[in-house]
Amino acid sequence: MINIQSDEPRYRKKSKKRGEPRAKHKHEYKNCVFQYPSIRFDKAHGMVNDVIKHSIGTYCPVCGKIGDVTDTSWQISERGYVGITVRWNDAALSEFDARTRTLPLFVLDDQWFPKSIPGYENGIIAQ
Ligand SMILES: [Zn+2]
């Protein structure tokens, strides 16, 4: 026997909060440089990740959430004989160089970008 004692309506109104992002702020993405090792195949050693790569992407300075791993507005695409080649523009190359860099640099463990910058809290990276 089913005994319903609750006065609650059978179908609850959907909570407005459901589905909203957990963050209490609106992410505002800013450019940054990501540095990460890229995996390559070496005949003698198999898969090695000794190639250091850079990318200009975006992150939220408040929480460290990564927006884009590649900001294509810093890239140039050129049509050539082998199809379209995409490369970083001069401004990007100057950001990849530690001597001329103006953007914040984030070093990642591998080429599989996480959703957020590891250890990033309140604008400070714990290292
Ligand atoms: Zn954020």
| pLDDT tens, position by position, 79-90 | 988 899 999 999
Evaluate whether 88 touches 56 at the Cβ level (below 8 Å).
yes
Average pLDDT of the residues in 24-38: 94
Listed residue (95, 94, 118, 91) closest to 107, CA to CA: 118
Q: How far is the CA of 50 from the centre of ligand 1 (A)?
A: 31
pLDDT digits (tens, 9 = 90+) for 67-125: 999 999 999 999 988 899 999 999 999 999 999 999 999 999 888 899 999 888 755 66
Strand-pair category, 46-59 with 30-42: antiparallel
Evaluate whether 66 touches 113 at the Cβ level (below 8 Å).
yes
pTM metric for this prediction: 0.72
Q: How far is the CA of 108 from the centre of ligand 1 (A)?
A: 18
Structure tokens of 73? 């507005």
Q: How far is the CA of 101 from the centre of ligand 1 (A)?
A: 23
